[in-house]
Amino acid sequence: MTQAYDHLSEWFEYLNDDCDYPAWSQYFLSGLAALGAGRKGLELGCGSGAFCRALTKAGYAMTGADLSLPMLDKAARLAREEGVSVRYLQADAARLCTHEKFDFILAPNDCYNYIAPQKLPAAFRHAAANLKKGGIFWADVSSAYKLRTKVANNMFADDRDEVTYLAFSHLFADRVELDVTLFVRTVRSTTLTNGISNIFTRRMRLSPRLRAPDWKCCASRDTSARKSAGATG
């Protein structure tokens, strides 16, 4: 999965501009304020760092974690360009170990949908181990219903001056796979070149329930109307 996202690092935020990062960031900011969250946060699956930058500008001390080094490199460059200080580290959400304790952990963009079901119990235990007592764990996941009815067996495309992508989704018993091909226009040619194809797997069975004694559900919301079912989001 990390290699697949490596090739999207330069274009991820650009191609996902329809998800409205400013409004989505404000949604997190409002929720964290309502929950009384502390100021030290960790974002899992941070990609190129849009939420980390937004929360840092709002006064939070953010750390971003991702498996993809090219994504982290892009995140660091964007943070420098916008004049914000965000620490980024390479980490696997399924085996998270930061040797720190955070006031809250955010896992947007379906981060936990990409973790194999047999690894989910350990992934949640690792998340809890990196939270302070009373810390907040906020995960954004796609339901099996959404993946089956809105994403599966469909085609997504976006054709822009600099880049084009085509994505074909395929439904399996326990997952949806997206075959995404990215075409980037080179400076030497007026035709799209450098086609790169990758498979993205989103799991449907998020079976472990957060009902252990050390987890308490603060809120559960359906945000499907706010988020589009984009091929790369």
pLDDT band at 186 (very low <50, low <70, confident <90, very high): confident
Give per-residue pLDDT as tens, 11-25: 999 999 888 999 999
Identify the pLDDT of residue 200.
66
Domain boundaries for CATH 3.40.50.150 within the chain: 2-142
Q: Please give the CATH topology (third level) of the domain spanning 145-202.
A: N-terminal domain of TfIIb (2.20.25)
Q: What is the mean pLDDT of residues 63-92?
A: 97
Q: What is the mean pLDDT of residues 68-78?
A: 97
Q: Which of 33-42, 45-54, 180-189 has the lowest mean pLDDT?
A: 180-189
**Which amino acid type is present at position 155?**
M
Q: What is the mean pLDDT of residues 104-115?
A: 94
Q: Which CATH class is domain 2-142?
A: alpha beta
Q: What is the mean pLDDT of residues 127-143?
A: 94
Mean pLDDT of all residues in the chain? 85
Identify the pLDDT of residue 229.
33
pLDDT band at 185 (very low <50, low <70, confident <90, very high): confident
Sign of CA dihedral 116, 151, 109, 141: negative
In the predicted model, is pLDDT for residue 194 greater than 70? no
Identify the pLDDT of residue 68.
94
In the sheet with 40-44, reading across from the earlier edge strand, the strands are 87-90, 61-66, 40-44, 102-107, 131-139
**Which amino acid type is present at position 206?**
L
CA 170, CA 179: separation in Å to the nearest integer? 8
Give per-residue pLDDT as tens, 197-231: 666 677 765 444 444 446 666 666 665 444 433 33
- Token digits for 156? 């997504």
**Which amino acid type is present at position 131?**
L
Identify the pLDDT of residue 199.
64
Identify the pLDDT of residue 158.
94
Domain boundaries for CATH 2.20.25.110 within the chain: 145-202
CA 132, CA 152: separation in Å to the nearest integer? 38
Supply the pTM of this predicted model. Answer: 0.85
